[in-house]
Chains A and B, each alone.
Chain A
C-alpha cells in the first residue's frame, strides 16, 4: 500500500496542548512521525532577560501549568544559589512537602487524562481529579491561590504555614494513599488499558540514554536516575525513599513508574512532616543580585514531575544576563519519532500520553 501522510493537530484532544504531528502511515502502521512544535512559543528565556529577578517567577510558573510550583522552586532556588542565601530549615521541609504534593497532583492529572486518551472514558479521570482537587485545596490554603502560587521568597515563603498544617498533611497523605492504591487493581483488570499500554512505544535502555530522555520515561527504561538522589537539594538526602525503576520501557511501565512515585511521594511527605522543625519559614523578597554574586554561572538541577529540569543562569546585577532552561518534556517529546515507528496509528496517542508532554514548557 502507498504511504499516506496524515496531519494531526495542531489542535487535537490527544496532543495535550498545541502540537502538530505529520504522520506517514502505511495502512495502520506508522512509518514516520515529525512533531512540529513552537505554537506556544512566547520567548520566555528572552523575556526573563528583560525582567528583574522578582518579576520572573510568574514566567517560570507558566512553563508547566500542571505543576507550577516545581519550576518556580527551581528558579527561586537558583537565585538563592546566586546570592548565597541559605534556605531556613523549616522552609526546606515545607518546600519538600509542597513539592511532593505538587508531584502527586501532576501525576494524578497525567493519569486521568492518559486513561481518558486511550478510550477508558471518565471514571479514572473523575477519581484523579477528585484527589487532585484536595491537593490543590491544601496548596491554596498555604499559598493563597489555587494554581499559580508565587509564594516562594528568598530563604523561605511569603508567610508561615497555617497552624494545622502538619495535621492536614497527614490527613491528606492518608486519604491519597487509600485512594491511589485502589487504582492499581482497577487499571490492571482493565483490558482496554492493558492492551493499549503493554508493549506499546517501547524504548530500550541504550536508546533512552542516547536520546537523553528524562524522569519517569528514563526510569521506565531501566535507568536509575533521579535528581533528588544524584543532586540532592533541600532535605531530600535525609529522606528515605525508593526510586522506582522498570525494565520494559513501554507505556505501561511509564504508568507504573509514575504510580509508584506517587506512593513514594506520600512516604516523603510523612517523613518531612514529622521531621519539620518549629520556627519561622518566611523569607525575604527576591531582590537584585548585587556584586555579591560569586560564580559567573549558576547551574541548578531539580527533579520536576516530568524529569530533571535545569536552569543555567548567567547572573547580572538587575536581571539575568542569560537564563537557559532544560525542559524534561522537550527531551521526552524528541524521542517520539523513535518510539512510534512501527506502531499502530491508534497507539500514537497512548504513546504521547505516556510521555506526559506539556507544550508550554517545550516551546517556552
Chain B
C-alpha cells in the first residue's frame, strides 16, 4: 500500500462480527488527498494478523491497543507490553462475547 503513495496511516481498528473479525486500516495519501480503507478478514478462532509496523511506525500503538481490546494476535513484531495494561489477557473488552458485570481485577 505504501508503494502506491499511501504513506500516512490514520488508524488501525477492528470490528467483531462474532463469526469473524475485520481488521480495518485507514491510510491516506497526503499528496493526492485520497483516503483508502483496507479491510482484512480474520477468523474468530485464534485470530492472528501480520504486523505493519515496519512500513508504518505509526502502527505501533494502534496494533498494541487492538491486540489488547480484541485479543487479535499480532505476529512478526517484538512482544512489547500491552498498551493500556488494564486487562489480564483473558478477557477482551471490545469483543461481543465480553461479559458485563464481572468483578475484574486490574493488572499492575
Q: Which residues of A contact B (CB under 8 A)?
A: 36-38, 41, 43, 45-46, 209-212, 223-225, 230-231, 299, 308, 310, 312, 314, 321-322, 324, 326, 330-331, 334, 363
Which residues of B sit under 8 angstroms from A363, Cβ to Cβ?
A: 84
B58 close to A324 (CB less than 8 A): no
Known contacts A38-B85, A46-B93, A46-B94; is-contact A324 B11 (Cβ 8 Å): yes
- Mask, B6-29, CB within 8 Å of A = 1, is 011111010110000000101000
Total number of B residues with any Cβ neighbor in A under 8 Å: 26
A-B contact pairs, 11 of them (CB 8 A): A38-B84, A46-B94, A210-B56, A211-B58, A212-B58, A310-B11, A312-B26, A322-B94, A326-B10, A331-B61, A334-B58
A230 and B37 CA atoms in complex are apart in Å by 16
Residues of A close to B24: CB separation below 8 A: 312, 324
A37 to B84, CA, bound (A): 6
* Contact present for B57 and A314 (CB under 8 Å): no
Across the interface, name the chain A residue whose C-beta is closest to B34.
A230
Residues of B within 8 A of A230 (CB): 33
Are A38 and B15 neighbours in the complex by a CB distance under 8 Å? Answer: no
Contacts of A330 in B (CB 8 A): 61
Q: Is B44 an interface residue (CB 8 A)?
A: no
Contact B11 A209 (CB under 8 A): no
Cβ contacts under 8 Å, B16 to chain A: 322
| Chain A residues, CB < 8 A from B60 | 334
Identify the closest chain A residue to B98 (Cβ): A46
Chain B residues in 8 Å Cβ range of A46: 93-94, 98
B94 touches A209 (CB 8 A): no
Q: How far is the CA of A209 from the CA of B7 in the complex (A)?
A: 7
* Residue contact B58 to A322, C-beta cutoff 8 Å: no
**A322 and B96 alpha carbons, distance in the complex (Å):** 10
Interface centre among B15, B33, B93, B98 (most CB of A within 10 A): B15
Given A38-B84, A210-B58, A225-B30 in contact, is the A314-B15 Cβ separation under 8 Å? yes
Output the residue of B26, B61, B85 with the most chain A CB within 10 A: B61
CB-defined interface of B22-51 with A at 8 Å, one 1/0 digit per residue? Answer: 001010001001010100000000000000
Distance in Å from the Cβ of B57 to the closest Cβ of chain A? 5
Known: A36-B85, A41-B84. A310 touches B30 (CB 8 A): no
Given contacts A312-B13, A322-B16, 5 further A-B contacts (CB under 8 A): A38-B85, A312-B24, A326-B11, A334-B58, A334-B61
By a CB distance below 8 angstroms, the chain A residues around B93 are 43, 46
B74 within 8 A of A: no
Docked CA distance A312–B11 (Å): 10
Is there contact, CB below 8 Å, between B30 and A45? no
* B68 nearest in chain A by CB position: A38
Determine the chain A residues whose CB is within 8 A of the CB of B33 once the complex forms. Answer: 230
Q: How far is the CA of A299 from the CA of B10 in the complex (A)?
A: 12
In the complex formed, the residue of B with least CB distance to A50 is: B100
Chain B residues whose CB sits within 8 angstroms of the CB of A224 once the complex forms: 30
Cross-chain contact A326 with B85 (CB below 8 angstroms): no
Known contacts A38-B84, A322-B16, A299 near B57 by CB under 8 Å: no
Cα–Cα distance between A209 and B57 once the two chains are bound (Å) = 9
B41 to A: closest C-beta gap in Å: 14
CB atoms of A41 and B86 under 8 A apart: yes
- Determine which of A37, A43, A209, A334 lies in contact with B30 in the assembled complex, contact meaning CB atoms within 8 Å: A209
Tell which of B7, B37, B98 touches A210, judged by Cβ atoms closer than 8 Å. Answer: B7
Q: Give residues of chain B (39-88) contacting chain A, Cβ–Cβ below 8 Å.
A: 56-58, 60-61, 83-86
Taking a contact as CB atoms under 8 Å apart, the answer to whether B85 and A322 are in contact is no
Q: Are B83 and A37 in contact (CB under 8 A)?
A: yes
- Chain B residues with Cβ below 8 Å from A314 are 15
Docked complex Cα distance between A299 and B33 (Å) = 15
**Known pairs A210-B58, A326-B26, A334-B60; A308 contacts B10 (CB<8 A):** yes
Tell me which residues across on chain A come within 8 A of B10, comparing CB atoms.
212, 308, 310, 326
CB atoms of A299 and B86 under 8 A apart: no
